[in-house]
Amino acid sequence: MKSKYVQHENSPLREIADLVVEGRQVIGDVEVTEQLWARTLAQGVCKLCSIPYYLNGFGIGDEIRVTSDFVLANTLRTSNQISYRVFISSIAECELIVQELRRLGAEFEPFDSQFMGVTTKTPSQAKSIKVLLQRLAQNRQIEYEDTRSPL
């Protein structure tokens, strides 16, 4: 099995984070280890401060349980934010797509110039952003996935 290691450099809540936790996800024949920023709430309990890129079922603001070696174990309380992983087809279109996401109130965490985590705080934002993502996907400008659903 292949391995991939991912770190979060630009987390929206980095300023309140006080530790890094690891999440692990098998995607096809690749085991992804993702380091996410988190804030300690109690022993073994943290709040995620990053928008997951690859981990399904987790989102920024979720309260999570971690093992003694800071590996993500499970969600204790969900933040109810809707999150997506977005792959932008053309570097030339990245800035326009980012501007449109900002205009709709999305928060995002870029991984590189063509891949980012996107999250919303309210149901109305989620609906507007989903419509935008669907339109962009139909036009083959992006591919996207809901991170609360399985790959």
pLDDT tens digits, 90-143: 888 888 898 999 999 999 898 988 899 999 888 888 889 999 999 999 999 999
Residues 6+ apart with CB under 8 A from 100: 132
Query: Which residues does 66 contact at the CB level (< 8 Å), separation at least 6?
Result: 21, 38, 44, 45, 46, 72, 73
From the list 26, 22, 33, the residue with the least C-alpha distance to 70 is 22
Q: C-alpha distances in angstroms, 28 versus 36, 71, 116? A: 21, 21, 20
The answer to whether residues 76 and 58 touch, using CB atoms and an 8 Å cutoff, is no
Question: Cα(64)–Cα(76) distance, rounded to whole angstroms?
Answer: 5
Cα gap 63→43, rounded to integer Å:
12
Q: Are 34 and 6 in contact (CB under 8 A)?
A: yes
Q: What is the pLDDT of residues 34-88, one digit of tens each?
A: 999 999 999 999 999 999 998 888 999 999 999 999 999 999 999 988 889 999 9
Look up the pTM and report it.
Answer: 0.87
Look over the chain and give the mean of its residue pLDDT values, rounded to a whole number.
91
